Amino acid sequence: MSTRKLNQEVFGLWVNELIARQRVVGVQAKEERFIFGSLSKAEDLRLDYDVTLLPPKKYLLPQREHLMEFTAQGEYESRIEHEPFILFGVHPYDVIAISQLDAIFSAGQYDVHYMTRRRNATIVACDVQTVSAHVFASSMNTATVQDGFDLLLTKIGDDYLADARTEKGEELLAIVSGGVEPAKEDFAKREEVWRKNRESLRKHDLKCRPEELPALLAKSYDDPIWEEKARHCFSCGSCNLVCPTCYCFDVHDDMNWDLQTGTRTRACDACLLNEFAAVAGGHNFR
């Protein structure tokens, strides 16, 4: 696999070339904040973002998606999205979150809707350039990442190091004209970016190791802290929606106007909503 060094100009040309070839979803400014959205030109790309309003999850597990179409006679036909796209500028912690979603949707029973979209996605990861106010990625060992993406971009000085890690990443890199072979110092500069990010993406310091968290949570099931925190909670479910790893969903049918055909849709659901685990007879296990 190869790595190239791209200066600003080459980088911009490359991104525009990618946009001309396939759909590119990248980070852009939205008023004072940042979002992932369809990119129409390289100038709109903001890889200096701190954090996005929503994680890139919505391009792999949309808030609503049609699973299938059906007829009133009970025939069901799956609808699967096949459009290839590039997810551009994903921070390391979001790359790791996507790997977790991949594990959930591919392990055991294979979710063809999610996995087809995932297979069609090329993930261009990007090392963090601006430290956000409340970041705790480093406490979770997610400040930097070494796999789960196709290509990694790291800003070193005014240039980018573009490091292809898969065939898909290699294909993107093959389109660049004007990139140069990086020198040893360039890799050293990247090491320095990684080292700094591991140090600075830690606005909140976790006192234990992340590996200890499952046991800690299991042990703290009856801790009064949950009641205390729940008093401030609006029970809106927004935290599930913005969480890069929450994947729970609900499924419902909509009949078309003809009353003969309809669509089955899945939509993000939230385990913190009251109804989530309720069953008939008014019983709720939560």
Residues that bind ligand FAD (CB under 6 A): 278-280
Distance separating alpha carbons of residues 222 and 193, to the nearest angstrom: 41
Distance separating alpha carbons of residues 52 and 89, to the nearest angstrom: 11
CA angle 105, 107, 109 (to 5 degrees): 80
Using CB under 8 A, which residues numbered 4 to 63 contact another protein? none
Q: Which window, 2-10, 20-28, 110-118, 174-182, contacts another protein (CB under 8 A)?
A: 110-118
Looking at the Cβ atoms of 22 and 274, the one nearer to ligand FAD is 274
- Return phi, psi of residue 24, to 5°: -120, 125
Q: Which does 158 bind (CB under 5 to 8 A by kind): ligand FAD, another protein, none?
A: none
Helix axis angle, 92-106 to 112-119, nearest 10°: 140
| CA-based nearest residue to 29, from 48, 11, 16 | 48
Looking at the Cβ atoms of 136 and 249, the one nearer to ligand FAD is 249
Tokens of 54: 């929503």
Looking at the Cβ atoms of 193 and 273, the one nearer to ligand FAD is 273
Q: Which window, 44-52, 124-132, 143-151, 170-178, contacts another protein (CB under 8 A)?
A: 143-151
Q: Which does 267 bind (CB under 5 to 8 A by kind): ligand FAD, another protein, none?
A: none
Using CB under 8 A, which residues numbered 66 to 105 contact another protein? 67-68, 70-78, 80, 98-100, 102-105
Alpha carbon 248 to its chain's center: 15
Q: Least CB distance from residue 80 to another protein, whole Å?
A: 7
Q: Which does 274 bind (CB under 5 to 8 A by kind): another protein, ligand FAD, none?
A: none
Q: Which window, 19-27, 28-36, 185-193, 246-254, contacts another protein (CB under 8 A)?
A: 246-254
Q: Which DSSP symbol is given to 29? A: E
Q: Least CB distance from residue 61 to ligand FAD, whole Å?
A: 21
Looking at the Cβ atoms of 20 and 103, the one nearer to another protein is 103
- Return phi, psi of residue 272, to 5°: -90, 0
Q: Least CB distance from residue 284 to another protein, whole Å?
A: 9
Q: Which does 76 bind (CB under 5 to 8 A by kind): another protein, ligand FAD, none?
A: another protein
**235 touching another protein, by CB under 8 A:** no
CA angle 23, 157, 189 (to 5 degrees): 100
Q: Least CB distance from residue 278 to ligand FAD, whole Å?
A: 4
Using CB under 8 A, which residues numbered 198 to 227 contact another protein? 204-209, 211-221, 223, 225
205-213 contact pairs (CB < 8 A, 24+): 205/136, 205/139, 206/136, 206/139, 206/140, 210/139, 210/140, 210/141
Looking at the Cβ atoms of 72 and 180, the one nearer to another protein is 72
Using CB under 8 A, which residues numbered 151 to 180 contact another protein? 166
CA angle 8, 143, 6 (to 5 degrees): 15
Tokens of 260: 């003969």
Q: Which helix (H) or strand (E) holds 283?
A: strand 283-284
Looking at the Cβ atoms of 72 and 278, the one nearer to ligand FAD is 278
